[in-house]
């Protein structure tokens, strides 16, 4: 089982952006010290929900500060980036880090980001498959040209080209955030593992994995590819000596962050938004994920793995909003939970 942290660089009420980013960097450094497998970095624009606007930039910094830890994006929002530019960055990080970089990709949402970056709503609603396929070609081929609906250019060499000596695939791992049957199918047809969100429980994740396998098989993927797909389950982790204390830590801090962060999202076309109740959502997360004693947390992770077939986890560890508490949470995850999972 491979357990990592999920870092949003969340800005809690009353905090500055520098404080949020410092906590994000420190939690990643402590994750390596504590034996965690991966740090997954979120990306958001113009909202305090997450203060990291470029996951690949922060990934580069953390890869330079660590020696063993894998660093991934969760996710880089493809509709707001040129796939070749993102592919170049991913290739660079992959080669320079010795293969420690994972590129997580997603569609994002219908936010004002699409207007600011000039992508337009169509890039979000229809353009993701074309952009994804172009990016995958960039990571796998020696030269690439394009003649699609959105991207058209003459063939150019891929520099730097991901070295086949680093990984069997010849390039950085690519993971796709999936929230719908359509995105599951898109990932499965390309043989790409899924990143499944923390808002859904084991039952729904198991159904999505089963659907992925059906689509992968139908598209001609081999049994080895299907069985070896390393999907990632996102969740929340808060450790305490008593479960009520762990839940109380999150219930005190997370609703305020969720409210100010989610309220700040602005749609690009004025469409109505459906918002979760922050307190109810926090309570849901406490019930779904490893929140409690080290033994409970280990049991919850093992149960999720058994139910879903997923053996990789990206756990939000900064739910307290406090630097010292976050560091302690990560250290306890490494020292008291991970040994129970081997």
Condensed to tens digits (0 to 9), the pLDDT of residues 100-114 reads 999 999 999 999 999
Rounded CA-CA distance 197/234 in Å is 5
- The confidence score (pLDDT) of residue 155 equals 98
Section 299-318 average pLDDT: 98
What ranges in 127-241 are assigned the alpha helix state H? 128-140, 181-189, 202-218, 223-228
Tens of pLDDT, residues 201-255: 999 999 999 999 999 999 999 999 999 999 999 999 999 999 999 999 999 999 9
pLDDT band at 74 (very low <50, low <70, confident <90, very high): very high
Tell me phi and psi for residue 339, to 5 degrees: -60, -25
Using H for helix, E for strand and C for coil, what is the string for 118-147? CCCHHHHHCCHHHHHHHHHHHHHCCEEEEE
Rounded CA-CA distance 9/24 in Å is 5
- The confidence score (pLDDT) of residue 7 equals 98
pTM: 0.97
What percent of the chain is modeled with pLDDT above 90? 96
- The confidence score (pLDDT) of residue 274 equals 86
Average per-residue pLDDT in the chain?
Answer: 96
- The confidence score (pLDDT) of residue 194 equals 98
CA quadruple 75, 232, 60, 140: dihedral positive or negative?
A: negative
- The confidence score (pLDDT) of residue 66 equals 98
Section 52-57 average pLDDT: 98
Instruction: State the DSSP H helix or E strand holding residue 176, giving kind and residue range, or none if neither.
Output: strand 173-178
């Amino acid at each position: 089982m491979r357990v990592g942290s999920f870092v949003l660089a969340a800005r809690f009420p009353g905090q500055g952006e520098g404080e949020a980013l410092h906590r994000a960097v420190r939690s990643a450094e402590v994750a390596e010290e504590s034996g965690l497998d991966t740090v997954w970095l979120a990306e958001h624009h113009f909202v305090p929900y997450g203060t990291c606007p470029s996951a690949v930039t922060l990934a580069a910094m953390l890869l330079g500060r660590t020696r063993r830890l894998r660093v991934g994006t969760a996710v880089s929002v493809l509709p707001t980036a040129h796939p070749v530019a993102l592919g170049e960055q991913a290739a660079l990080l992959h080669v320079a880090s010795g293969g420690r970089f994972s590129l997580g990709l997603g569609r994002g949402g219908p936010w004002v980001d699409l207007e600011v970056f000039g992508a337009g709503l169509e890039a979000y609603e229809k353009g993701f498959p074309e952009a994804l396929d172009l990016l995958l070609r960039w990571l796998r081929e020696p030269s690439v040209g394009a003649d699609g609906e959105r991207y058209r250019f003459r063939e150019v060499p891929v520099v730097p080209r991901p070295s086949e000596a680093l990984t069997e695939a010849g390039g950085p791992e690519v993971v796709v955030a999936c929230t719908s049957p359509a995105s599951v199918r898109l990932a499965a047809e390309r043989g790409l593992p899924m990143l499944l969100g923390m808002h859904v429980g084991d039952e729904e994740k198991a159904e999505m994995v089963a659907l992925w396998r059906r689509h992968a098989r139908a598209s001609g993927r081999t049994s080895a590819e299907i069985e070896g797909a390393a999907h990632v389950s996102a969740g929340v982790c808060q450790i305490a000596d008593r479960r009520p204390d762990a839940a109380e830590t999150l219930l005190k801090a997370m609703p305020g962050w969720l409210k100010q962060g989610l309220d700040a999202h602005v749609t690009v076309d004025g469409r109505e938004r459906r918002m979760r109740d922050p307190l109810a959502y926090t309570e849901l997360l406490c019930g779904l994920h490893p929140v409690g004693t080290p033994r409970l947390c280990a049991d919850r992770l093992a149960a999720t793995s058994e139910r879903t077939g997923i053996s990789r986890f990206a756990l939000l560890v900064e739910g307290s909003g406090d630097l010292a508490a976050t560091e302690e949470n990560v250290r306890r995850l490494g020292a008291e939970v991970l040994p129970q999972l081997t």
